Amino acid sequence: MITNAAQGIGYFIRGLGLIGKPGIRLYVLIPLTINILLFASLILFGYGEFMDLVNYLAPAENGWLSWLRWILIPIFFITSLIIVFFTFTLVANLIGAPFNSLLAAAVEKHLTGELPESNSNWKAVLKNVIPILLAELKKMAYYILITIPFLILFIIPVVNFIAPFLWMLMIAWVMAVEYTDYPMSNRNISFAELRRRLRQRRFMSFGFGGSVMLAMSIPVLNFFVMPTAVAGATAMAVEKLKVE
């Protein structure tokens, strides 16, 4: 059990080394740059609007209210960090979904010397971009459905004491499903079959998903989690989930 969980953690760490390999870096840099520019632009826009509001409510020349600026400005930055943390994964997965398929294909080629059947080049991804995005939305619907019962546990007396631990296990499972789906989809393996194979190696899946979840909680590092997780999940799929 512990060995299997450690294997899952190892695959995530291995992904960090894989994303820097020649032939793979491009598929990491493009979505990463898009997401960083998107969130930086939103934060800068929000900061400008926020400072206009602060200057209106507490003008710098108004001495007796200027102390409010020292409270409101830090609150803005803290709030921005929280918003980025909770929305980055959702937005990054939608923007990065087509690139993640290419990244998974590039990692698989690096590991096996062969490309998967589908979504292995730009032409294939551009042709299937709508189905890829729809598949991502379907996965999100699945995540919402399995989340609801766990939320209910928080309001049940006694059970709510273990609810946080069950919640973390659920998130770890979601992370494992999310990122192994890219290499498995490239091999035309269905979402249901993917989950069945992950359940067969559930401790490894929890170890992998748990390491992804932990890394996502660290500011700045969470920008690099998605490509690392895709690369690590691809190695795990090729070697342990029998992608054929």
Q: How far apart are CA 122 and CA 189, in angstroms?
A: 20
| Proportion of the chain above pLDDT 90, given as a percent | 16
Per-residue pLDDT tens over the stretch 39-97: 677 777 777 777 777 676 666 555 555 666 666 666 666 666 556 555 666 666 677 77
Q: What is the pTM of this model?
A: 0.76
**Sign of torsion, CA 55 57 59 63?**
negative
Residue 19 host element (H or E): none
Q: What residues have CB less than 8 Å from 12, skipping those under 6 apart?
A: 208, 211, 212, 215, 228, 229, 232
**Sign of torsion, CA 49 54 57 60?**
negative
Cβ-based burial of 226 (10 A; exposed 0-12, middle 13-18, buried ≥19): buried
Mean pLDDT calculated for residue range 148-154: 80
Q: How many domains does the chain have?
A: 1
pLDDT reading at 178 higher than 80: yes
Structural domain containing residue 230: 2-240
